[in-house]
Structure 1
Amino acid sequence: MLKQPDGISIFNYCFALGVSEVFFLSSFYLSILDVSLFAIALPFSALFLIFSLYLFLRTHKSVKNLPNQEERRREIHAFYHQSIGIFTIIFSVLLFTALAYIPLMENGGHFYLLYCLPMALLCLIPSIISYKGMKLFKLETDRNLTKI
């Protein structure tokens, strides 16, 4: 079984996310070259994206179980703030890619449509969790600004 991460950082899941994006971009390159191998790169991209989502959820679970949450509030808030940005950007890219490939269905667009829509919806899960975590672990400066 994998050990729970000690540090609360986006680097817990970013390597797998980066590998996923390398496979995704290489599939674009292969489809531009009109090589049919682009369809092989997409499942690997999906596999690494799902693994990075698992690593994100594992880090989220370890944040919820921390005994000293108040002392590490700034670090937890930064983790959720960075995560919402990363996963929202990936959601947007995957959604717009799926929509852009709808007219190109005969040229392999159905592969991108079948890959991008489910993966975009999966990227909504950490975005929503990050939004809720950001609201839960608001920084003290945010609270003082509303009182002024």
Structure 2
Amino acid sequence: MSSLGRLPAQERQRLIRPLLDWLAQAGQQVDCQWGGWRITRVGGGGSNLLYRVTNSAHDLAIKFTLRDARDRAGREYAALCVLQEAGLAVAPEPILLDRTSYAQPVVVQTWLDGKVSATPPTSDADWRKLVQHFA
């Protein structure tokens, strides 16, 4: 799959903006198709609306966050940018941040496959495996 992050900002906007507009209007749609995109609502996002959005070229996570003083979308996007600029391939690639165009701030990033765990590792072996993964 190609990387949206390598495209100029204007081109990223052209590709992503109609999708964000549709998601913002559609509400909490689950498992549907729109405009050549396959859209799946992902549970477990806490207070966020999280979607996995794919087509033949892209696999994205789109997260509508709470609007509050903590600026969750902005902080997440900034952290992803720092990791990318440091050359650390340990997190999704940041694609787009929009704090103002929608009822909720939104951050778009590449989808990162993997197992989600609600708890930290419980054994020394699991901790070693986690540390080795990020080493």
User: Shorter-chain TM-score category?
Assistant: under 0.3
Name the one with the larger helix percent. 1
Name the one with the larger strand percent. 2
Structure whose CA Rg is larger: 1
- TM-score after normalising by structure 2: 0.27
